[in-house]
Amino acid sequence: MILDIIAYPDRRLKDVSKEVNTFTNDLHFLLDDMYDTMIASNGIGLAAIQIGRSIRALIINLPDEEGEQHKEQLLEMINPRISQAEGNIMYQEGCLSVPGFYEDIERYELVTVTYHDRNGKSCTLQANELLSVAIQHEMDHLDGKLFIEKLPYGRRKKFEKEYKKNQRSKKSA
Ligand code: QAP
Ligand code: CO
């Protein structure tokens, strides 16, 4: 089922999401709805809070070299934790909750993440490049953080101005 995605500046995006303790059907239905919603909006990553559910669950589905997404590549991470991080990279990020805006953000280059899958199984993954960036971006959502909060003052001001202008033109369209 495709759900609405919450957009900035909705305050719910600031909520700190809660740990998941039960890996039952309602979690599975939520993850399935997150996937449908993300794909319908041309996204590559989504956190549960973006559809209004404040639990520590995120999904990531990176495209291949041809730019195609395959559901077999879908990553579902419940209660993720970064256990190791190294180096720094810049990447141009966007967010389904901040439509139409992209900016270069600095992140760790390499991360080791421990998490649970949808059935509660413990997993560990080492990630670099785009996957590493996506994991860090989605994990920030679980703590109520958006990538625009990482912008220096001047670029943040520019964002606020552009974004408001965009929203006005959306409304009148
Ligand atoms: C997070 O972002 C991310 O503005 C996922 O109009 C960001 O899926 C992962 C999107 C950077 C890795 C690197 C954004 C779609 C999708 C928009 C997204 C838009 C349509 C963003
Ligand atoms: Co996002």
Distance from residue 105's CA to the centre of ligand 2 (Å): 13
Q: What does the pLDDT profile of the chain (173 residues) look like in tens digits?
A: 999 999 999 999 999 999 999 999 999 999 999 999 999 999 999 999 999 999 999 999 999 999 999 999 999 999 999 999 999 999 999 999 999 999 999 999 999 999 999 999 999 999 999 999 999 999 999 999 999 999 999 999 999 999 999 988 887 87
Distance from residue 50's CA to the centre of ligand 2 (Å): 8
Going along the chain from its start, the domains and CATH numbers come out as 11-172 (3.90.45.10)
Residues near ligand 1 (Cβ within 6 A): 41-45, 91, 93-96, 99-100, 130, 133-134, 137
Can you give the pTM of this predicted structure?
A: 0.98
Output 165-170 pairs: Cβ under 8 A, ≥24 positions apart: 166/99, 166/100, 166/101
Q: Are strands 122-128 and 103-116 parallel, antiparallel or unpaired?
A: antiparallel
Which residues lie closer than 8 Å to 2 by C-beta, 6 or more apart? 33, 36, 37, 40
Q: Which of 65, 103, 109, 138 is catalytic?
A: 138
Rounded to an integer, what is the distance from CA 23 to the centroid of its chain?
20
